[in-house]
Amino acid sequence: MKIKILSMLIFISAMVSAQKGVSLSRFPDDKVMVVAHRADWREAPENSAWAVKKAIEKGIDMVEVDLALTKDSVLVLMHDQTIDRTTTGTGKPGDYTLAELRKFSLKDGLGSTTQMKVPTLEEILDITQNKILINLDKGFDYIKIVYPLLKKRNMLDQVLFKGHETYKEFDRKYGTIKNEIHFMPIIRLNVKEGWQKIDEYTDHYKVYGFEFTVGTTEQNMIDFNKVRAQGCKVWVNALWPHHNAGHNDDLALENPDFYEWFIKNHVNIIQTDRPRELIGFLKKRNLYY
């Protein structure tokens, strides 16, 4: 019965998503995009199919997931360099074929064994297509595999890539496909080359936006409104204090209005570990899409 109810909720959420349009290029600039870190990992094992399904059920805009490659060259979802923390196995994903990796089970956030298995990227794309946006962390590490998959499925407008590369590095590596994909450079504001990196991109390429790591204080903050004025979205993580000058997600448990700091600073993409609280705040401000 519970499975039927969840399936119905996912179906309803998918219908709403279809009406809104699951598209990076059509996401309104005056709304705040909610990104679930490692999918909705507080509801299901991180980077699992069910964590993605729970994100769809909640009406989250985007899931961030991580990629790794198996011994037989299959892309799977896995954050760490080893499978020790998140599965019942040990070693690196590349030590195993997909069939061998499937013999292990995923663990939940408390380290307890579940019945769930490590999903492949293709299985996740089957779930997300036309239902929810995706940020493929480490996606560029496997671009020669990922790009053809997305192009074949007509999903290039539903997937966001990010990276630390300078514009010259990005252009050299991905110049042949750069105008077909959505890319977001990552900028560390405590590095003095930050503005130079921003200018190089905005002078030569239409980025989707920039992800900023603010630091533990606002000492290195810049005026994000100037970035927004150039037609770029601004992404800041609410995950841990060093990302956001101490304005991290756990503060929402006692005061959901703390997210006002992000709005005041013109942030319009927030990656969160507390999507329910963030969505509730955005709805009150009419900033939820």
Q: Given a cut of 80, is residue 19 above it in pLDDT?
A: no
**Mean per-residue pLDDT for 176-201?**
90
Q: Nearest Cα to 7, choosing from 54, 60, 61, 64? A: 54
pLDDT at 5: 55
Helix or strand (DSSP H, E) at 145: helix 143-153
Q: State residue 9's pLDDT score.
A: 52
Domains of the chain listed by start with CATH number = 2-66+131-284 (3.20.20.190)
Residue 190 pLDDT grade (very low, low, confident, very high; cuts 50, 70, 90): confident
Average pLDDT over residues 216-237: 95
Task: Determine whether 86 is exposed, middle or buried from the number of CB atoms within 10 Å of its CB (0-12, 13-18, 19+).
Answer: buried
pTM of this structure: 0.92
